[in-house]
Amino acid sequence: MSVTHFHSGVAGSRSGIFDPFSLDFDNSTEALQNNTIQTISIGADWTWVCWFRPSSVTDNGTIFECSNQPGDDDDINRIFFNYVDDEVHARLYNSSGTIFKHLEFDTVLSLDTWVQLVVTFTSDNPMVLYADGSSVAVTTTITDSAGTMTSTDRAISIGKRLDDGFPLGGLVHSTALISSALSSSAVTSIYNGGNGRDLDLRYNKDDYAVADDLEHYWRHGLDSSDIGRDYGVAGTLIDVGDNADNITAADIVTESPS
């Protein structure tokens, strides 16, 4: 599927509007980042949401990283999601900096195909990955231990690791961090919302009823004057354009999930 590049103008931030834009990451040098170690307002229970359309499924790319020690494997409360070929890999580090979840999920991604990825976590339940509203079975378990995460200061990267490794190739429409763990029915609701008004996570809809917990919401490309703008409700919003690496409004494309 071809995409149309969008080079100028402000798409706007009106509530609940149709959002036709995404950012096109080049699988080489581009990333959205905020390198400041600061509060991200999520702790023991949380949800991560991302709409992603890979342009390659033969690489190792970073979808999301939240870390306070970039490149350090002993990293307190690190969250790291990447893909290898068509697999999604998830790693979580506990409040002591020890990895306690390292799980792999096969055949999640398809070339040039939109997928809504959701990860939910609570300290007393397993981490769950959803793809397009349905839970995905773990195919490889490297580490799966009990563990507790806490609300500590971290930096954010979308498209590469914070230490610049493993660049992503493809389109990313939106990314969110929610300070509660969505139920399976809520995950289904936000997937079934599709594009347009019901895709806007700032508004409760059906079994999705935690809009007040939407701490961070990056709608990539919606505002061409600020491609890293955070539309969440956290007391400290995090603009992931502040330390963007080689990605600009010229990388906005008119393409979105439906």
Q: For all residues of the chain together, what is the average pLDDT?
A: 89
Q: How many CA atoms, within 13 angstroms, populate the side-chain half-sphere of residue 210?
A: 20
Kindly report which listed range (12-21, 45-54, 79-88, 206-215) carries the lowest average pLDDT score.
Answer: 12-21
Rg (CA), the chain: 16
* Residues 79-88: tens digit of each pLDDT: 999 999 899 9
Query: How does residue 71 score in pLDDT terms, banded at 50, 70 and 90?
Result: low
Q: In the chain, what percentage of residues exceed pLDDT 70?
A: 89
- Please give the order of strands across the beta sheet that includes 60-67: 32-39, 153-158, 60-67, 79-84, 87-93, 99-105, 140-144
Residue 181: what pLDDT? 97
- Please give the CATH topology (third level) of the domain spanning 4-254: Jelly Rolls (2.60.120)
**CA distances from residue 252 to 178, 181, 198, 240 in whole angstroms, order as listed:** 25, 30, 22, 15
Separation CA 31–CA 110 (nearest Å):
21
Residue pLDDT, tens place only, 182-224 = 999 999 999 987 544 446 899 888 899 999 999 999 999 899 9
pLDDT at 241 over 80: yes
Q: Where are the domains of the chain?
A: 4-254
